[in-house]
């Protein structure tokens, strides 16, 4: 994209935000730095046509062909199109279009954040903050103090979040039975922004009288408090003591920004310390906190559906040690040994669906199950054309019926032990037809939350319904490492 001589090869689209205005026959294009370039007459009309065409991605050559079709004749000096594209690129009115096939997969379920709004004037910026959070993948719910509603309407918040605003611990409407507890448990993070001095004092004292304070105090998710107040208030010894107490209590407290004090007349306002940082900075802080908490949770596998849902909401695919964008070749080979296509296959612990998608693409009917609804939601989004059937199910308490020709378990069984592993084995005995295959891959070495299964343990666990047919050394590939694993193939008795 840097060689102006090759402008016909550029792949471009209109930027999401442009700094352009028109007046009469003039179009003025501004750069992010505020530098302007005025186009007039035919040049302005040409720029308008190019910008309209580049609502969808096109190459420079396609832009030239489009302009020539509008003109009804070849352009005498095609380089003028390249010059115009270069101008719009430098002004950031155009941007490079993503290469097809390399776009980041849609992430269906992102982290959940409760945004607590208080009586600080910066609450008027809440809609911009919500939109920024949503753009970064957060699912947002809002809770407000009574004084917050002086600066923003509940209808505006509800229009953005598609969820009711919670304004009281015991609301007349029973949408949430005990809203401060339900939202505290729902949240992956709580953001109190802006945090007025009164709310900060409530948090420091453990005062649950407002619903915002009650949620922030009751949650086990990380809490980010973003102070916003008059500089004199911020500097008060009592406020500073309260902020220090919040830090000691394990809450995250953002440093203030220099902002304009609206209590001063507009002509005399100068930036002073005490205001909330801009929305984009607040979101960056929150993302860092969520990532830090998420990294800590990877040290041991979560328990239960809620824990797995939270893990998949708060981690990108590349952060999951077991996640692989391609199916393991040895698992596919073991399944192909059972039949090239047409099998009824059960996958247990499907995660983000790479293996199930590959199995379905080979012509098998695959039911892909996982305990995490969030994982399956992402799996559907990552492979919208797949014929895999995605079902939320816990194999240790399965509700599945019917018989399968084969079942595949990649890295699920080794998270189970004792009675849970026995229920897993009993479910497989019921779900796999006589003569069918159970293909299991487990880690070869013990780790936090992992029970490695050797040959003898596997044979004993699944006997007498299954006989161990073969085993092989393997790996469990992930984004950055491929730890040693064992691949087992067991045969259902009675075939």
Q: How far is CA 7 from the centre of its chain?
A: 35
Question: What is the 8-class DSSP label of residue 121?
Answer: G
Same topology between domain 112-297 and domain 319-492:
yes
**Given 3-state DSSP classes, what are the helix, strand and coil percentages for the chain, each rounded to the nearest 5?**
40, 25, 35
CATH class for the domain made up of 319-492 = alpha beta
Max intra-chain CA distance, the chain: 89
| Domain residue ranges in the chain | 4-96, 112-297, 319-492
Query: What pLDDT is attached to residue 291?
Result: 86
CA distance 493 to 467: 7
Residues of the chain with pLDDT under 50: 101-107
- Give the H or E element holding residue 406: strand 404-410
Exposed / middle / buried, residue 12 (Cβ in 10 Å: 0-12, 13-18, 19+): buried
Cα–Cα distance, 188 to 190 (Å, whole number):
7
Model pLDDT, residue 105: 45
CB atoms within 10 A of CB 27: 21
Separation of alpha carbons 43 and 56, rounded Å:
21
What is the model's pLDDT at position 407? Answer: 98
Per-residue pLDDT at 258: 83
187, 219 contact by CB (below 8 A): yes
DSSP letter, residue 56 = S
CB neighbourhood size of 417 (10 A): 13
Q: What are phi and psi of 160, to 5 degrees?
A: -80, -40
- Summarised one tens digit per residue, pLDDT across range 261-285 is 777 788 777 777 778 999 999 999 9
Give the architecture-level CATH label for domain 4-96. Alpha-Beta Complex (3.90)
Burial of 149 (0-12, 13-18, 19+ CB in 10 A): middle
pLDDT in tens, 351-379: 999 999 999 999 999 999 999 999 999 99
| Orientation of helix 211-218 relative to helix 179-186, angle to 10° | 40
DSSP string, 407-444: EEEESSGGG--HHHHHHHHHHHHHHEEEEEEEEEEEES
Distance CA 301, CA 104 (A): 26
Distance of CA 424 to the CA centre of its chain: 30
Q: Measured on CA atoms in the order 307, 310, 316, 317, is the torsion positive or negative? A: positive
How is domain 112-297 classified at the architecture level of CATH?
Answer: 3-Layer(aba) Sandwich (3.40)
DSSP 162: S
H or E segment and range at residue 344:
strand 344-348
This prediction has a pTM of 0.74
């Amino acid at each position: 994209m840097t060689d102006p001589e090759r402008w016909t090869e550029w792949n471009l689209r209109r930027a999401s935000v442009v700094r352009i205005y028109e007046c009469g026959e003039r179009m003025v294009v501004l750069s992010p730095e505020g530098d302007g370039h005025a186009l007039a007459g035919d040049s302005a009309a040409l720029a308008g046509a190019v910008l309209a065409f580049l609502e969808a991605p096109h190459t420079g050559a396609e832009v030239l062909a489009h302009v020539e079709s509008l003109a009804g004749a070849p352009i005498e000096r095609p380089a003028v199109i390249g010059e115009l594209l270069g101008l719009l690129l430098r002004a950031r009115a155009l941007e490079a279009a993503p290469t097809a096939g390399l776009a980041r997969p849609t992430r269906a379920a992102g982290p959940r954040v409760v945004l607590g709004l208080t009586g600080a004037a910066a609450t008027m910026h809440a809609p911009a903050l919500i939109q920024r959070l949503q753009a970064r993948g957060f699912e947002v719910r809002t809770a407000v103090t009574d004084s917050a509603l002086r600066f923003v309407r509940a209808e505006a918040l509800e229009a953005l979040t598609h969820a009711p605003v919670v304004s009281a611990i015991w609301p007349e409407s029973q949408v949430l039975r005990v809203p401060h507890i339900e939202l505290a448990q729902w949240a992956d993070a709580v953001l109190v922004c802006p945090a007025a001095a009164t709310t900060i004092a409530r948090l420091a004292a453990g005062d649950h009288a407002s619903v915002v304070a009650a949620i922030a105090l009751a949650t086990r998710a990380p809490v980010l408090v973003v102070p916003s107040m008059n500089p004199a208030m911020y500097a008060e010894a009592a406020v500073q003591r309260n902020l220090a107490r919040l830090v000691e209590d394990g809450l995250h407290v953002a440093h203030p920004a220099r902002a304009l004090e609206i209590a001063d007349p507009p002509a005399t306002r100068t930036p002073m310390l005490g205001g909330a940082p801009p929305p984009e900075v607040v979101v960056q802080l929150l993302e860092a906190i969520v990532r830090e908490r998420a990294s800590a949770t990877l040290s041991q596998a979560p328990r239960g559906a809620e824990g797995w849902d939270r893990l998949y909401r708060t981690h990108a695919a590349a952060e999951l040690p077991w996640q692989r964008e391609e199916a393991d070749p040895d698992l596919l080979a073991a399944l192909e040994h059972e039949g090239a296509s047409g099998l009824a296959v059960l996958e247990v612990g499907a995660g983000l669906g790479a293996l199930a998608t590959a199995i379905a693409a080979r012509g098998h009917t695959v039911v892909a199950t996982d305990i995490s609804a969030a994982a399956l939601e992402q799996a559907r989004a990552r492979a919208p054309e797949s014929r895999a059937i995605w079902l939320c199910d816990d194999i240790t308490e399965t509700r599945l019926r019917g018989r399968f020709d084969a079942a595949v378990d990649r890295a699920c069984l080794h998270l189970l032990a004792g009675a849970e592993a026995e229920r897993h084995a009993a479910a497989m005995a019921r779900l796999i037809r006589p003569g069918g295959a159970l293909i299991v891959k487990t880690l070869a070495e013990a780790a936090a939350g992992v029970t490695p299964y050797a040959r003898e343990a596997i044979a004993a666990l699944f006997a007498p319904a299954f006989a161990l047919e073969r085993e092989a050394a393997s790996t469990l590939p992930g984004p950055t490492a491929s730890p040693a694993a064992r691949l087992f193939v067991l045969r259902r008795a009675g075939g």
